[in-house]
Every structure is written in structure tokens, then in C-alpha cells.
Structure 1
Amino acid sequence: MRRFLVAATAALSLALVGCSAAAPEAGPARTGSADPSAFLNEHDLGGMDGEQIIDHLDRLPVAERPTDLVASVHADQLLLADAEQEVVVRLDDDRFYLSIAPYVDQTHECFFHSLTTCRGELANQEIGVRIVDDATGDLVVDEQVTTFDNGFVGFWLPRDVRGTIEVTLDGLTGQRSFSSSDDDATCLTTLRLDES
């Protein structure tokens, strides 16, 4: 029964990812939860923990991203699935992965970041990012970074923070609130950049 619940939860969560792309086509029968080590080895992710898998897949050039794998980041777990199997990889309880795709002209809806299908507008752009904890005023991030080939940039943030993200690009600025609790989005695609 537990295996069924894990498989059902993973399938539902992958269906609700939000970034448009079809899941890998299922074969005649899905086998449910797979042996994590064998599954990860099969997809060239062997020996990596959840954080390393996320960092690896999010930084891959779009042309090199696996088309037979769906990888969805949730607050506490990474859900991986192919046409035959699915695996849940637990994430650190103290950290939260937030992937941000600032935009100027076009965006898409997204709640759980999909490492293999999400695409943002501003690929390979140098941006300034400031993330502030609204409760304490502490600066969590203050960096110049380059967006990944998929138009996103990801940050490992402390858990249970409510804050503000500010992004700058060539005289354009945008801000958006965020939260890093268990039920919060790991994908932020609503941060629009415009002239201040």
C-alpha cells in the first residue's frame, strides 16, 4: 500500500508541475517505485544526492537535457520519472530550492520547477539578484549571476523564510515576494523586469 501511495503521489505531482512539456510516454504498464540507485545510474545521476542532481540538471545546456526524464523539485523532495519508473529523492530539511525565471515580455505558469522542461525567456543573461528576509532584514543573497541555458537561476535558501527578491538587468528591475515553507512554490516565473 505504501508503494502505491508513493507512486500515486509522484505521478500526481509530476502531472501538476506547471511548466509545459509532456511527460515521457508510459509503456504498457508503469512499474511504480523503482530502486533509486539503479534508476539514478540508468539516467547518469548515480552517486549524486538530491541537491547535486538538481544543480546538475538545472545547469545542463537545453540541448543536452534528457528527454526521457521528468524531474520535479518540491520543497522536501525531488520527483524523478521516466516512461517505466519513478523515484522520490528526499531533500535536506533545512534548505529550500527556488528557481527564478525573470522575464521582460513573456512567461509561463509554474509551481514546482521542472528541471528538464521549464524554459524561461532570459537564457544566459547576467543579472543582479538580491534576496532579503523580510522578518529580519538580513540579506540572504546579493550576487551577480548568469541565468542558466533554460532561462532560470536557482538558489538554495534557508527554510521557512518570507522575503523579497529583486532582480536587475541592464537598467531593468523587478521585485517579487517569496516564501520557502513546505507548501510553497519552487518555481518563480512572475518576476517581471521593467524600467524603474
Structure 2
Amino acid sequence: MSALTTVPRPSARRRALLAAVVAGSLALTACTSAEPGPDSTPEASAGTLVEQHDLEGMDARQVIERLDTMPVPERPDDLWASVEPDQLVLSDPTGALEETSLPMPADEFYLSVAPYRTFTHDCVFHSLTTCLGELGGETVQVTVTDEATGQKVLDETRTTYDNGFVGLWLPRDLTGTLTLEHDGESTSSPISTGDDDLTCLTTMQVA
């Protein structure tokens, strides 16, 4: 049986959080997409979102891996995919197709991080098809340390995706510190991976 379901509307807390970000940073909305053009009409759409974008049979982890690592020019402009702590929300910007969701893994949390040198943008829930960071294709050393135990839960050399992000699958309900090193510069940030936490981190400057 497919895990695909009809998505409930976002909670009041999440709606308020997103509204605050949008209201305070309209000039920095790299994680939002433009309104559909005049040719993007509901009559032009058929089937379901997963059928149109060849996502049938995939779980949330597989969809995230496909879309977040996709070269930017190949990313669909008729699909919005928002990573929330507990679900991956797929929607059609034209409104022609029904919004759907896939449940996130019960024991894992996806945090997408965009290190930057000179410019960044505000972000709460990572958009797999529209978020763009500054440093695509760059090598970074990523370390995540568990605050409770002092143990490293992640210590890897990674390459940022074409969209400038690096995606981290972390244990759920973790409180810790993320450290990024790039070209001899290092920056750290507290992180947490609970049901009320952000999935998009764009405040780590490596310069």
C-alpha cells in the first residue's frame, strides 16, 4: 500500500511561523517560487503529482534524495516540495492537482544546510525545487555533536549540491552542534531535530 496521503493543512503554529518569515523577508524569498505563468492552467494538467514527476513507489527519503541532488536547470517548475519535520508536502503551484504528502522516517530528521560567504536568505522548511544557496559544488567538512553525550553523530566530508545545500539525515530528537569547515574557515550553530524544528538552515557563514 502506498504511503501517499492527502495532506492536512499546516498547523496554526506552522502557518504563523511561515507568515512571519515571509512578512519579514520578502526580498529574500529564494525558497519560494514565482506565481505560475498564464500558460500554467489547470486544464493542462492530468494524473497525480507523483505520476507526473515519476515519483510513484518512492518514500519520502527517496523523493528528497532525488529532488535535492537534481541539477538546478532540471528541477521541475510545476512541483513544490516542502520538507517539514514530520512530512514531505508535494503541491502543484497551479492548484490543478491535489496536494499530497509522504510521512518522514520515524527515526530520522532531514536538515538541509546552505553555507554562505556573502549572501543568504531566510528559510524555515526546505523547498527541494526552489531553494537556492550561494555555494554549489563546494567541499565542506560536516560535524554534528550530540549535546547530551558529547559524541559525534556525523563527521564527513561532503560536497554541496547544485542548489548550494548539503542534506543531512540526523537522528530524530537530537540537540547538538553543527560545525562546517570550508576553505580553512569554520562556523558552528546549535541544531535540534524535533517536531517543531526547522528543516532549512541558511545562517552559517563560512568567510
Which one of the candidate residues 58, 65, 68 is aligned to 2:75? 65
The farther-off stretch of 44-53 and 58-67 is: 44-53
Could you tell me the TM-score, scaled by structure 1's length?
0.85
**Cα separation, partners in 2 of 1:158 and 1:46, compared to 1, 3 Å:** same
Q: Which residue of 2 aligns with 1:140?
A: 153
Superposition pairs of residues 38-49 of structure 1, within 5 angstroms: 38-49=48-59
The answer to whether the aligner puts 1:87 opposite 2:97 as a matched pair is: no
Q: Deviations over 1:74-131 (max 9, x none)?
A: 0010000112121111111211000000111110000000000000111000110001
Q: Which residue of 2 aligns with 1:165?
A: 178
Superposition pairs of residues 86-125 of structure 1, within 5 angstroms: 86-125=99-138
Instruction: Give 1:178 deviation, angstroms.
Output: 0.6
Instruction: Give 1:188 deviation, angstroms.
Output: 0.3
Q: Calculate percent identity across the aligned residue pairs.
A: 48
Could you tell me the TM-score, scaled by structure 2's length?
0.80
- Contact 1:159 / 1:180 at 8 angstroms: preserved in 2? yes
Amino acid corresponding to residue 9 of structure 1 in structure 2: P
| Distance (Å, rounded) in 1 between the aligned partners of 2:155 and 2:10 | 36
| Distance (Å, rounded) in 2 between the aligned partners of 1:22 and 1:141 | 36
The DSSP-based 3-state class of the residue aligned with 2:10 is helix
Q: Which residue of 2 aligns with 1:22?
A: 34
Instruction: Give 1:172 deviation, angstroms.
Output: 1.1
**Cα separation, partners in 2 of 1:141 and 1:24, compared to 1, 3 Å:** farther
| Distance (Å, rounded) in 2 between the aligned partners of 1:133 and 1:23 | 41
Instruction: Give 1:9 deviation, angstroms.
Output: 3.0
**Cα separation, partners in 2 of 1:44 and 1:134, compared to 1, 3 Å:** same
The answer to whether the aligner puts 1:179 opposite 2:180 as a matched pair is: no
Q: Let me know the Cα RMSD of the aligned residues.
A: 2.7
Instruction: Give 1:5 deviation, angstroms.
Output: 7.7
- Contact 2:115 / 2:135 at 8 angstroms: preserved in 1? yes
Q: Deviations over 1:10-37 (max 9, x none)?
A: 9x86x938623225468569xxxxx9xx
The DSSP-based 3-state class of the residue aligned with 1:52 is helix
Instruction: Give 1:144 deviation, angstroms.
Output: 0.5
